[in-house]
Amino acid sequence: MAIFTGAGVAIVTPFKEDESINYDKLDELIDFHCENGTDSIIICGTTGESATLTEEEHMECVKFTIDRTKKRIPVIAGTGSNCTRTAIDMSKEAAEHGADGLLLVTPYYNKATQAGLMAHYTAVAKEVKTTPIIMYSVASRTGCNIEPATVAALVKNVDNIVGIKEASGNIGQVARIMALTDGNIDLYSGNDDQIVPLLSLGGKGVISVLSNIAPQKTHDICAKFFEGDVKGSAKMQLEALPLVEQLFSEVNPIPVKKAMQLMGMDCGSLRMPLTELTKEHEESLAKAMKDYGIALV
């Protein structure tokens, strides 16, 4: 059984003025998602600025989210690292805290070989034993692609490696993964503009940036598809495209944090080296949000 089906939010990490984690705001966001259709919370991923969290902050944030969600929806902890030992340590701690699953991005900067990826994921999976793992392929950020044959070998040979968040943007690669695994993999879109295409190949849902500001609509794109209303799902996908484009007008999560501020859900600043959204892009983002039916303050 999949950890979740539908739309999981790649949730932002809210900060105070001094850039410490704003747990009161995170508490509000958790309730917001549990009450507005989100199917899973993915904490401390790329959108959560995991790259600039200390390991202590990272694990405190994971534990807080698991404790506050109280099993209302599944919580998946981002515990990837370019150091296998670090990934193991964080994954084991997240599992001990009760994470429903783990999201492990490919090691970045090292640019591991496919053999290295096999060894990396297998080593982490062995240590967390039964906690399900979703691999995360996003070569545009990491410089490291998980080839379909590698994905298939890991899913077939390691019991608790169950899925992949596919953000390559390469539909041909996604199709090859599904063919080599005979569809026996939990496939999630890592791109909000490709939810329906991946669902059509047997996907279970999306791990979404859009869900931060439009959780119910993102959920409904998936729900309509699963209900057999493919035409309705596709219509919603296409309607979301202008907003999705603006959410990636600058590197994620710069635009989505600004979008939340425009909605009155201010989650604070970004940690450097990320900087605030330019005025030009802010204006385009605000227009796209209004056109999508999102009320601004």
Q: What is the CATH number of the domain that holds 144?
A: 3.20.20.70
pLDDT in tens, 163-176: 999 999 999 999 99
State residue 161's pLDDT score.
Answer: 98
Catalytic center residues: 136, 165
State residue 1's pLDDT score.
Answer: 83
Contact of 212 with 259, CB cutoff 8 Å:
yes
Contact of 8 with 103, CB cutoff 8 Å:
no
Confidence of residue 86 (pLDDT cuts 50, 70, 90): very high
Angle at 39 between CA 19 and CA 293, to 5 degrees: 75
Q: In this structure, is residue 101 part of a structural domain?
A: yes
Q: In this structure, is residue 244 part of a structural domain?
A: no
- CB-side exposure of 12: number of CA atoms within 13 Å? 29
Q: In this structure, is residue 107 part of a structural domain?
A: yes
Enter the DSSP assignment of 21: B
Q: Which segments of the chain are extended strands (E)?
A: 6-10, 40-43, 75-78, 101-105, 133-137, 161-166, 186-189, 205-208
Token pair 């204006």 is found at 283
Distance CA(172)–CA(82), nearest Å, equals: 27
Q: In this structure, is residue 220 part of a structural domain?
A: yes
Enter the DSSP assignment of 52: G
Report the share of the chain in percent with pLDDT over 90.
100
Q: CA nearest 162: which of 140, 188, 138?
A: 188
Q: CA nearest 109: which of 143, 149, 133?
A: 143
State residue 249's pLDDT score.
Answer: 98
Q: In this structure, is residue 191 part of a structural domain?
A: yes
Q: In this structure, is residue 290 part of a structural domain?
A: no
Enter the DSSP assignment of 15: B
Amino acid at 224: K
Contact of 61 with 13, CB cutoff 8 Å:
yes
State residue 169's pLDDT score.
Answer: 95
Number of domains, the chain: 1
What's the rounded mean pLDDT across residues 105-128? 97
Distance CA(106)–CA(154), nearest Å, equals: 13
State residue 288's pLDDT score.
Answer: 98
Q: In this structure, is residue 108 part of a structural domain?
A: yes
pLDDT in tens, 260-280: 999 999 999 999 999 999 999
User: What separation in angstroms does the CA of 176 have from each of 91, 128, 150, 152, 172?
Assistant: 28, 28, 11, 10, 6
Confidence of residue 245 (pLDDT cuts 50, 70, 90): very high
State residue 107's pLDDT score.
Answer: 96
Report residue 275 as tokens.
Answer: 């900087």
Distance CA(127)–CA(247), nearest Å, equals: 36
Q: In this structure, is residue 169 part of a structural domain?
A: yes
Contact of 69 with 103, CB cutoff 8 Å:
no
pLDDT in tens, 180-217: 999 999 999 999 999 999 999 999 999 999 999 999 99
State residue 186's pLDDT score.
Answer: 98
User: What separation in angstroms does the CA of 45 have from each of 75, 81, 172, 293?
Assistant: 12, 11, 25, 27
What's the rounded mean pLDDT across residues 207-236? 98
Confidence of residue 11 (pLDDT cuts 50, 70, 90): very high
Q: How high is the mean pLDDT of the chain?
A: 97
What's the rounded mean pLDDT across residues 67-96? 98
3 state DSSP class of 206: strand
The range of the structural domain enclosing residue 190 comes to 6-229
Question: Residue 9, Cβ neighbours under 10 Å: how many?
Answer: 31
Distance CA(214)–CA(209), nearest Å, equals: 9
User: What separation in angstroms does the CA of 80 have from each of 108, 120, 148, 282?
Assistant: 9, 10, 20, 31
